[in-house]
Amino acid sequence: MAFDPAPSPGPYDPSPGRRLSIALERTLDTPMDQVWTVLRDYAQARPRILTEHFTDYVIHQGGRGAGTMIGFQLRIGRRRGAYLVAVEEPTPARQLRERDRSSKLVTTWTLTPAGEGERTLIHLAVDLRHPELNGRWARARARRALRRLHGRLLERLANDLASHRT
């Protein structure tokens, strides 16, 4: 019988803290191109949909889509952090990624057409690494706070799109 070693844990990750990921989905009664236009507009549309958890929002570079650099303070539960985020478009017109320069927070918006192109399915994934997420209860509280915060962000996006529908 051959020795079967345990699977490799993968590459070494020197980043401090535990990783926490959430994913949310929502279907909007808006065509994908309109949702895409609003999501990548960091100058006008984004400030309208941000919740009270985001403060000190500022555009450092660009303002529309890939190449945009934004800064903000974000409160997740009882924790507040400063973020400097670079915007990427891995799949233009379908996927938008917002990556903190310190790689601690990554938010990915993925759009899929639904309902004969009249509706859009948004998949919102958030990946966070923080040194204070080492305990099970800390991760559970942070996961609930992230879900609540980003659920409200999706709700505000839906409301904004509905109010600007022509």
* Residue 64 domain flag: yes
Separation of CA 143 from chain center:
13
Distance CA 65, CA 159 (A): 21
* Residue 110 domain flag: yes
* Residue 45 domain flag: yes
- Residue-level pLDDT, tens digit, the chain, 166 residues: 443 333 333 343 445 567 889 999 999 999 999 999 999 999 999 999 999 999 999 999 999 999 999 999 998 877 888 999 999 999 999 999 999 997 788 999 999 999 887 999 999 999 988 666 666 777 788 889 899 999 999 999 999 999 987 5
The pTM score is 0.84
- State the residue range of the domain holding 78: 19-163
* Residue 14 domain flag: no
Distance CA 86, CA 69 (A): 5
Distance CA 132, CA 151 (A): 23
Nearest to 21 by CA among 150, 115, 110, 121: 150
* Residue 8 domain flag: no
* Residue 4 domain flag: no
* Residue 7 domain flag: no
Number of domains into which the chain is organized: 1
* CATH number for 158: 3.30.530.20
* Residue 1 domain flag: no
Helices and strands: H and E segment counts in the chain:
3, 7
